[in-house]
Structure 1
Amino acid sequence: MPENPDICNQGNETGSVYFVSNCDAEIVRNSLTTVISHVIKGNKYPVVISSKRHLTALSSIQGYHQYFISLCRKLNLLPNDRVTLISPMDQLIAIQLCLAEKSKEETGDFDVETSIVLQAVKDITNKKLLSQYDITSCSKDSGICELYDKFLKDCNYLDGCDVYNVLKKEMSKNEELQKLIKEQSFLILDPPKSILERKMVEFLAENKDVKSVTVEVPLDCEENISVTVDNSCLATVLDVNVPLSTVKKAPSITEAYVRLVFLSYLELIVNSRSELALARVFNVPERELTHSAFTAVKHESRQKKMTMYQTATSFIMKIRLGGKGYAPDCNNPLGAHVKGIGEFVSLMHRMETVIEEDPDIRSACRRTVNILKREMLKCRDSKIRNSNVESVSQLLHAQIADIIDELDKNIVVTPDKTAANGGSLTSRRARKALRQLLDKLATVDDDMSSLDHLTDIYSSQRTPLRFPSVISQFRSPEEELEVTSPGNKYNLSLSERVLNITNKAQTPVYAKRYKSTYDWADPVHNVDVQKDVDIFSASQVYVIPSKTIVHAGNKFSSGEAAKVLETILDQENLTETDPVLVPTSSKSSENEKTVSTNQENTKQNNKKQHEKQSKKRQLQDGNQSSQPEKRKKQDQSKSCRRKLLPQVKGQQSLAKFFRV
């Protein structure tokens, strides 16, 4: 192995910044200590920084944001001990929720375009980091910067830009921080990806030597690692474009979802004001808490100006304490969800009890994760698989154990104090370990793209599973409009209702193949035949294969015609010369008049015929002998004569003309 000529020889006064270019992840895992021993000799162990998840999982590697917030916690620069670092994923979701709330106030629609969210993230980051930056008109008009800062304050959050600005401001007046940064050496495994990480690297490398490290591993023997250190400048190192790997393992959506649920529960233990964490675990595992239950808790918390977690906890505790003085209001909307909210509060209290009462920090953290594990294994939701629960819990046990090992190395013995005077409680060290775990996992890149966090995603299985987004949880369910509401359809004007009906009546393209077969009659019948719609129009005449002509009529006229037809057919005699006339006019009044006149005419004709037959019989009886006359056989042609259907007025003359 070659000698390293660029070893820092300035003692402990000034450190250096080493950039490792094109270093494989397997080399880092297997021989990180060997690389550090080749790079730095005689100096103290450097701070190793990376932004990749599979590298930061190691206890000796930190993320960019993790190192900065650890300095802020060490120097007590944060507002309180429970404040948590918001991840880049949650930052996108928080900005989306703020813009959706603004859109609901202006337009009534709780939604926002993804492009507007991405532009707002860019504007907020540049405004906090760059002194001379003008945000876009869209972000300026919406007031997203003020809304986002208010959301962070209400949820006890800090983003990476705020942490960087706090440390940068403290650097100018804190000599202890200046000495710490000046003497510390840094080994950066991958170049910065965002403008914030670039600013952090510039902050750490200020007034320091910058060196480029190249690591080579021979194919025949991986133990003989060749490390080369060259002098470089910061601008050259930051401008190097590292080619992205084209082969990337597709992330498991179900495993990522289970990991997110575990971390959300742990985050509520550390920071109970986190609304994003509460939204993810409110009904996981299944507690029969619907969307309306979450909406009721949200509205109740805003009405009382309390956090959502505190609102739900106080409601359940009032019920459990009993008594009229503690009983909640009978009209409280949370009363319909007592069972589910009670199960959620009981689970949180069990974990907090373990954290506060177990004196052993390892046992407390291990038992807390196991409680979550047992609850998740009982879940019947297909999105939570037992294999993913087992793997995530094992990974959390290993990471928490590494963090506790680091805490044991830095224990400072102090005089005992009471809890009222700022003494150490049993739960503080356990919460500190969980807080460091959350800081570590919130500062690395995520496997999924940013769009996957802003919208609902579906698993690529035979039966796709829906993983809802956070904004769908915060969106209030649709409520039925009152009669007096201006948005009710019955309060629309006549022109608006007619326009809506005409728009709905349009036949879609895919339904045109189901149209009527009367294409030869276009454009009259170029419509779809719907249910309970008569295909015969009242203004049209259709010829069908029969001896009669049929006119279409309404329901009233057709019913009257049927009654008249029955009375006529019941009569015994039908003359050939006087056919039955049945009018079929479109108007009911005219139809009744014509029917009555036809009935009178038929009665008179029948009477005349009967009188003639009686006179003939009397004459025959007087002239003939007493022998009885044989009755003539009835004409078979007349008896078997087919009874015609009712004829239309004017058809009588037409029948006489064609009669032989």
Structure 2
Amino acid sequence: MVVMEESLRTMTRVFRRECHRVLDSERTTIQGADGMLMVLQLAVAGVNKQEYGDFGVALSEVLAAWKYFLLDKLQLSHNDIPLPQNYDLIRKEYDCFLKRTNTVDLIDVFIMFKELRINEDPEEPLTAMQLFQFLIGEKESLEKVESLPVCPATPSNKAGICSPQIQRVVRRVFCSYLGLLVNSKNDIALAYTLDNPNRSLGHIAFTDLRHAACTNASSLFLTVTSFVRAIQLGGKGYAPPESHPLRKHIKGLSEFLNFVDQCQDVLGETPNPREAGSKLVSSIRAALVKGRSGGDPVYFAAEDTAKSFKERISQIHTMQTQSAVGTGISPARPKAYAINHCTAYGGRETVKVLMALLDEEALVPPCRNKAELLSEDHAVLNGSAGACLLTMYKSPEAPTGSSPKSLRNRVSSQQEHIKSKVVRPTIRSQFACTYKDDELPLNRVLEFPSASQLPTCVHPAPKRTISLHASVEEECDSTEMDNRLKETTNLRCEGPGQSALGEHSGNAWNRAGGKGTRPEQLGRATGTSKRKLANRECADQGKEENQPPQKRPPAKAPVGGLGKRNSKPASKKLIAGQGKLTGFFRL
């Protein structure tokens, strides 16, 4: 294992010395084994989003693609391993993510080492199969398993040992803050530092930031910087509008940027790399332990990580000082068109020390528990259960229009809504179908969705025809019915199976005798009742026309008149059968 570590360090040292020959940026950072696996998880989830519309991936799918990906990129035999689905898209998405974040992985370093090495460098420090075994974690030395320091036993820390997950996450947060100072395009580093410590920049804030960065085609850190600076310095004419999605996160984004600015000031204003590194690590530790008690596991992990980083920065600075001058060109060297060369050179030595420290962290053996790394990481500091990098990159659920409540809650809320309606006490009568009713019974509402479509009579009665051969009794009944129709205002046509309804108490205008009857209520009478009235009126008119004219009473002769008039009128000639028919209808 010691030989493996020394070979990886030699390979990385040669790459860092000659990387300016093949890379556009000299501040390119290296992704270690765990970082490569997390980037692959994001790549597979992104391809699933494009193909199936769901940004997510199973752990087994990531592990299967991980092994095939390592063998394929190292150009080793992978015939016995099935080809992952959409592998070409996954590989393309992985490479684009590394290029967009200005990072490379250990396999890229291994491949470029052969091109960048010079004569005095070792020919090949390790083989492709050895690198594969290191990345997959098959041959880890038992002496170097989780060589993390042990926390002191205290009453609040009864176990006496800090969780390896807490140690790993806290150490990654330290490296992410230092990595942002070296490479501000590293989006994964910003994802681990944006809400650590808590700045109220959770999942929604990170999603809004990613969407804004995608719209502007820039990195996450540059998007934060440009947005906050536009608000602080732009004024009303240049500041983003109030409808900008990042406006609601301005407080947390300002706190994050102010902290990074403080670290940048320390980096540029402190000439001694050892002192500058110590101040940076102390600032990060103070931010993480702020508001935490002395017995908090995160507090112990931050204290121990800060102590080890300070010692390692001091050792790296000593080695770089004692090394021969002229072994390479410094990263962050000023360009010919740099306006202020002093500013360009500021913090150059400190950046070299930080890059060497980050390279060593990239050579750490991979995490054994892949499930913990991919599904439960990033949760020990911000307190959100089950949070991980994949959860941070997954957009929140968009509303689909359906109720988010369960069926039981929706039914109970509907019942409470029905009970909340005030039902007025009603008194119905047999003529209730003609009354105005705003609140219909539930069964009628379900049967007829619109109140304007309610029929006045469900089962209309057949028309009653008046025959010429009707009896005298029926004629009397019709006469009595005419009188009753004059007293009542409306009739109710009841179908089979329907009971008469009572009178509505709210209809105060329905009085006995039909006083105060509204005109529109008369128009609501049933169609059958209107037809009955019309038929009977027509029948009455027909009978008056068919009956012979009534005899006038004899006029009284005036007293003392001159003569007597003939009181018997002249007989009128009837047609055949008219007298018999007329006598038939007489009482």
**Shared fold, TM over 0.5:** yes
Of stretches 467-476 and 404-413 in structure 1, the one that deviates more from structure 2 is 404-413
CA contact (8 A) 1:316 1:338 kept: yes
- The normalised TM-score by structure 2 is 0.59
Distance in 2, matches of 1:328 and 1:310, equals: 15
2:272 to 334, 337, 360: 360
Does residue 286 of structure 2 align to residue 374 of structure 1? yes
1:69 aligned partner = 12
1:449 to partner: Cα distance: 1.7
2:222 aligned partner = 310
Q: 1:453 to 1:369 in 2, by over 3 A?
A: same
CA contact (8 A) 2:376 2:388 kept: yes
Deviation track 1:486-507 (CA, whole Å, cap 9, x = no partner) reads: xx589xxxxxxxxx989x99xx
1:468 aligned partner = 387
Structure number with the higher strand fraction is 1
Write the letter of the residue equivalent to 1:374.
A
Distance in 2, matches of 1:356 and 1:291, equals: 32
* Alignment RMSD (CA, Å): 4.3
2:121 aligned partner = 180
CA contact (8 A) 1:253 1:459 kept: no
2:375 to 431, 434, 455: 455
1:112 to 40, 57, 72: 57
1:328 aligned partner = 240
Distance in 2, matches of 1:290 and 1:169, equals: 43
Does residue 349 of structure 2 align to residue 429 of structure 1? yes
Does residue 355 of structure 2 align to residue 412 of structure 1? no
1:100 aligned partner = 45
1:256 to partner: Cα distance: 2.2
Distance in 2, matches of 1:197 and 1:590, equals: 85
1:242 to partner: Cα distance: 8.7
Write the letter of the residue equivalent to 2:322.
K
1:388 aligned partner = 301
**Percent identity among equivalent residues?**
26
2:427 aligned partner = none
1:290 to partner: Cα distance: 2.5
Distance in 2, matches of 1:100 and 1:473, equals: 12
Q: 1:170 to 1:395 in 2, by over 3 A?
A: closer
1:592 to partner: Cα distance: 4.0
Write the letter of the residue equivalent to 2:256.
F
Q: 1:593 to 1:317 in 2, by over 3 A?
A: closer
2:313 aligned partner = 400
1:89 to 18, 30, 34: 34
Deviation track 1:101-124 (CA, whole Å, cap 9, x = no partner) reads: 111122221111112212222222
1:260 to 165, 169, 172: 172
Distance in 1, matches of 2:335 and 2:97, equals: 31
- The normalised TM-score by structure 1 is 0.53
CA contact (8 A) 2:70 2:132 kept: no
1:477 to 396, 406, 409: 396
Q: 1:400 to 1:418 in 2, by over 3 A?
A: closer
Deviation track 1:566-612 (CA, whole Å, cap 9, x = no partner) reads: xxxxxxxxxxxxxxxxxxxxx997584799xxxxxxxxxxxxxxxxx
What number of residue pairs does the alignment pair up?
397
Deviation track 1:347-406 (CA, whole Å, cap 9, x = no partner) reads: 001101110111111111111111111111214599763222211111111111111111
Distance in 1, matches of 2:101 and 2:144, equals: 38
CA contact (8 A) 1:400 1:433 kept: yes
Write the letter of the residue equivalent to 2:400.
L
Counting only pairs closer than 5 Å after superposition, residues 341-360 of structure 1 correspond to structure 2 as 341-360=253-272
2:545 aligned partner = none
2:101 aligned partner = 155
Q: 1:458 to 1:340 in 2, by over 3 A?
A: closer
- SS at structure 2 position matched to 1:81: coil
Write the letter of the residue equivalent to 2:354.
L
Distance in 2, matches of 1:199 and 1:378, equals: 37
1:145 to 85, 91, 95: 91
Does residue 216 of structure 2 align to residue 285 of structure 1? no
Distance in 2, matches of 1:120 and 1:454, equals: 14
2:480 aligned partner = none
Write the letter of the residue equivalent to 2:119.
Q
Q: 1:412 to 1:326 in 2, by over 3 A?
A: farther
CA contact (8 A) 2:169 2:378 kept: no
Q: 1:481 to 1:396 in 2, by over 3 A?
A: same
